[in-house]
Amino acid sequence: MVLLEELKKITKEENIFVNEPMKNHTTFRTGGPADYLVIPETVDEIKKLIELDCKKTFVGNGSNLLVKDGGIRGLTIKLTGLNSYTINDDIIEASAGCYLAMLSQVAMKNSLTGLEFACGIPGTLGGAVMMNAGAYGSEMSSVVLETEYISKNGIINKITDHEFGYRKSIFQQLDGAIILSSKLKLQHGNMEEIKNKMDELMASRNAKQPINYPSAGSTFKRPEGFFAGKLIEDAGLKGYRIGGAEVSTLHAGFIINAGNATSTDILNLIKYVQDMVKEKYNVLLEPEVKIIGED
């Protein structure tokens, strides 16, 4: 409760949640309680939160997260409250909590091309930079020019070399760093062409992905030389279920919450799929989804 009093000094009470079910903050719609969850609205608030002497966890839109059923101890800082942006010629500078879908609409409405690939990715800019999110042959690395972040010691830095790789960035090694904002370099283009491209990509997504069920997108990374979904399908696992977790019948690369799944169901299914694919094809599927929290 001491922490609660500290939090109330830093941010508005309506942005503080105690014993908050993480299923309200993940697209899997599973996950146990966060002791304290805060949604700061300014960098100054973040600075003060970082100074607190407790364990900290950062989340964006929770669209690449599996929070275990035991929940998260200490303080969970959700970054969707940082959501402003500016446009200067062909550069959009946006705060980490801006949704990618919103930014790709903004780009389109300003006749800027380059962010079409991101229109159907349900994450925030911060989560997307952290993960080097990508789709349809493009990824964040092709548009991110510079990122401002705050280190766990409260120092604000800027970097231009993000060391992007397949679903990774330097931020996965910068323990305790919070991404604050990024500059995205786009190109001037034709609004109608950009819109058509986005419509086309959304139609393809809607047809091929189980968007009507809670999930965290592709559960596994693409193993070198293979496609995770194809391996899982070939192993006969489409539709395989543990509790409420199911290998999607539409796209085997997605594990979905088919109804009242727990995170334990999903974890058990991840393990089962890994074991079966390893046994049949000697390929180790590595989760793309970040697994956090307590058992």
Ligand X SMILES: Cc1cc2nc3c(=O)[nH]c(=O)nc-3n(C[C@H](O)[C@H](O)[C@H](O)COP(=O)(O)OP(=O)(O)OC[C@H]3O[C@@H](n4cnc5c(N)ncnc54)[C@H](O)[C@@H]3O)c2cc1C
Closest distance of CB 228 from ligand X, Å = 13
- Note whether 81 binds ligand X by CB under 6 A: no
Indicate if the alpha-carbon torsion angle 77, 79, 82, 88 is positive or negative.
positive
Q: Is 167 a catalytic residue?
A: yes
Closest to ligand X by CB, 108 vs 128, is: 128
Torsion of CA 206, 210, 212, 215, to 10 degrees: -130
Span of 15-23, 118-126, 182-190, 241-249 interacting with ligand X by CB under 6 A: 118-126
Count of residues that interact with ligand X, criterion CB under 6 A: 31
Closest distance of CB 200 from ligand X, Å = 14
Closest to ligand X by CB, 86 vs 190, is: 86
Letter for the amino acid at 225?
G
Q: Residues 32, 127, 244, 293: which binds ligand X (CB under 6 A)?
A: 127
Locate the DSSP E strands across 107-174. 112-113, 134-135, 138-139, 144-150, 156-159
- Show the tokens assigned to 20: 């908050």
- Note whether 147 binds ligand X by CB under 6 A: no
Q: Residues 34, 37, 128, 232: which binds ligand X (CB under 6 A)?
A: 128
Closest distance of CB 280 from ligand X, Å = 26
Angle at 286 between CA 95 and CA 20, to 5 degrees: 50
Phi, psi of 110 (to 5 degrees): -105, 20
Q: Which 160-179 positions form the footprint of ligand X (CB under 6 A)?
A: 171, 178-179
Closest to ligand X by CB, 102 vs 276, is: 102
- Note whether 62 binds ligand X by CB under 6 A: yes
Cβ within 8 Å of residue 97, ≥6 positions away? 60, 79, 80, 81, 82, 83, 124, 125, 126
**Interface characters, 22-61, with ligand X (x: CB under 6 A):** -----x------------------------------xxxx
Cβ within 8 Å of residue 135, ≥6 positions away? 117, 118, 120, 121, 201
Q: Residues 31, 33, 71, 123: which binds ligand X (CB under 6 A)?
A: 123
Helix or strand run (H / E) with residue 108? helix 100-109
Closest distance of CB 188 from ligand X, Å = 25
> In DSSP terms, which residues pair with 177 in a beta bridge?
none
- Note whether 131 binds ligand X by CB under 6 A: yes
**Residues 81 and 43: beta-carbon distance below 8 Å:** no
Cβ within 8 Å of residue 241, ≥6 positions away? 247, 258, 269
Locate the DSSP E strands across 205-253. 215-218, 241-242, 245-247
Closest to ligand X by CB, 22 vs 235, is: 22
Closest to ligand X by CB, 182 vs 262, is: 182
Closest distance of CB 3 from ligand X, Å = 20
Residues forming the site for ligand X (CB under 6 A):
27, 58-65, 79, 96, 121-124, 126-128, 130-131, 133-135, 171, 178-179, 211, 215-217, 290
